[in-house]
Amino acid sequence: MPVFAAFHGLVPTPERAAQVAAVPYDVVNTEEAAELAAGNPLSFLHISRAEIDMAPGIDLHSDEVYEQSRAAFARIRSEAPLLTDGEKHLYIYQQQMNDHIQTGVVGCASSAEYVAGIIKKHEKTRKDKEDDRTRQVMALRSHTGPAFFTYRGDAAINAIVEEGCRQEPYFNFVAPDGIRHTLWRLDPAVSLTLQAAFEKIPCFYIADGHHRSAAAARVAGECAPHNPDHNGSEEYNYFLAVAFPAEQLQILPYNRVVKSLNGRDKAAYLQAVGEKFDIVPCGDGTARGKGDFRMYLDGQWYQLTAKVDESTLDVINRLDVSILQNELLAPVLGIDDPRTSQMIDFVGGLRGTGELEKRVDSGECKVAFSLYPTTVEQLMAIADAGAIMPPKSTWFEPKLRDGIVCHDF
């Protein structure tokens, strides 16, 4: 049912792919981006975080930053160089992080299908972040950061992808963080066969990249009125995505740290928590399964077990992140809206429980919570229900790299 179209990809030469490819713009701040790009003028961070080449303190959403990004894109296209494929292709993109391997297909998704809900979402987007991505894409006239899709695995798609991976890759490199990135460019005829196979799956789910997807729909809406011959087939109606089968994905914990005990001392706080959870001291902060909450307070880990009857809860409220929010963060710690509260912060991905201990032991925070990861099945069930997950519910790893393949329009 969904369109996943072959396209004229803009790709770095195999010799320069490792220099060009960079972590996504939204997983690093300005200082981290500058450090990663130091000494490498071809890093895509000069495009995605253009402020690293500008005066310190510049407004990240000023016209000058988007113009700098556009100029950097033009420079790297020439210097790397980045080359436009003469024929339309789908691409296979494989990532390996330690023992985990995930293999996806790079293609172009339909903005109209995003609007229609064939591409399903599970998060709310923020207008300021949509505005930023829309301006960035319009400045470059290219989708350079792919959305991260998943779908329920399909045997026909799997067979084509497995055969494609037996071919010689276009490039294959290990990034400084140890993650291997491999790209295959599929023959145009094979690309069309794979495109037809995707049309038989019911839908895509956005795993990561809600703001990229929303911005792409806005870009299509902005471009269409300026084209008197608009018919829906133009490249601006499509956006870059990588689609992975759900069974291959890895979601890591997305943990919480809180800056105060909401006016309580330790004893009063533990008493309040004990009304909602059974509390047992334990030796570490690694949650072993759903419903296993770990709390770090005053140098000690505790295992928490919620007293709520999960069988009475709907698909949203039985998520561990929801139970923690509804039973502890809101009623005990006063964090009614984690999207806007200044008292809570989120620690995701590979930082682990050591980062939680560090944030509390330093005095920066008072208490930390380690959660078992949300599953891909839970994500898809929530999207199928047309519901919205709580903020900071999923952390996918490894992240897709910018600059692997771009889509000009």
SS3 assignment, position 388: coil
Count CA atoms closer than 13 A to 217's CA, side-chain side.
16
Interstrand relation of 300-306 and 277-282 (parallel, antiparallel or unpaired): antiparallel
> 116 is written with which tokens?
């229609």
d(C-alpha 347, C-alpha 5), whole Å: 36
Strands 238-245 and 147-151 come out as parallel
Q: What is the pLDDT of residue 1?
A: 86
pTM: 0.93
pLDDT one-digit tens code per residue, 50-95: 999 999 999 999 999 999 999 999 999 999 999 999 999 999 999 9
**What's the whole-number average pLDDT of the chain?**
97
Point out the residues of the chain with pLDDT beneath 70.
none
- Distance between first and last Cα of the chain: 24
DSSP per residue, 352-369: HHHHHHHHHHTTS-SEEE
Residue 298: the pLDDT is 98
Domain ranges of the chain: 4-250+397-408, 254-372
Residue 230, exposed/middle/buried by CB under 10 A (0-12, 13-18, 19+)? middle
Compute the distance between CA of residue 300 and CA of residue 146 in angstroms, rounded to an integer: 41
Report the CATH number of the 254-372 domain.
3.30.1760
Which of 153, 180, 165, 320 minimizes the C-alpha distance to 248?
Answer: 153
Helices (H), 289-395: 320-324, 352-361, 376-384
Query: Residue 170: which residues within 8 A CB-CB, separation 6 or more?
Result: 11, 14, 91, 183, 184, 185
Q: What pLDDT, on a 0 to 100 scale, did the predictor assign at position 339?
A: 86
Other beta carbons within 10 angstroms of residue 101's beta carbon come to: 14
DSSP H or E segment with residue 195:
helix 188-198
Give the per-residue pLDDT at 351. Answer: 86
Helix spans in 38-126 (H): 45-48, 63-79, 111-116
CB 218 within 8 A of CB 237: no
Q: Is 9 helix (H, G, I), strand (E, B) or coil?
A: coil
